[in-house]
Amino acid sequence: MDKPNRPKKFRIHLHHTMSEKRTLEVLAHECVHIKQYATGQLKDHPNDDEMVLWEGEPYEFDQDSADYWFTPWETEAFGMQPGLYDLFITEHNDRAK
């Protein structure tokens, strides 16, 4: 939502039709992307909508391609998603006791 170099304001849209579990999984996944953008690890390419900069290197992608799911930013987000979800559930259940 703000400066493209190291943004600090983000907005995540979640669909109200998802289950509570799925909502939290998607939120965990998108929080990893926020971390990637906030730290400068992932940046939008300034001149090309079909490219990003991953750790400073230009990276072409096509969201409709099966290869997209193996890009480094998606691999990290999907890899961290289950652990973040489990951590939230564990912390939430411990505080509810």
Cα separation, 25 vs 71, whole angstroms:
19
Phi, psi for residue 39 in degrees, rounded to 5: -90, -5
CA dist., res. 37 & res. 86, Å (int) = 23
Tens of pLDDT, residue by residue over 14-47, are 999 999 999 999 999 999 999 999 999 999 888 8
Q: Which amino acid is at 25?
A: E
Q: How many independent structural domains does the chain possess? A: 1
Has residue 15 been placed in a domain? no
In a domain, 38, yes or no: yes
Between CA 72 and CA 75, with CA 74 as vertex, the angle to 5 degrees is 60
Residue 19 belongs to some domain of the structure: no
pLDDT in tens, 43-62: 988 888 889 999 999 999 89
Alpha carbon of 68 to those of 25, 50, 64, 72: distances in Å?
19, 11, 7, 9
pTM to 2 decimals? 0.86
Q: Is the pLDDT of residue 82 over 60?
A: yes
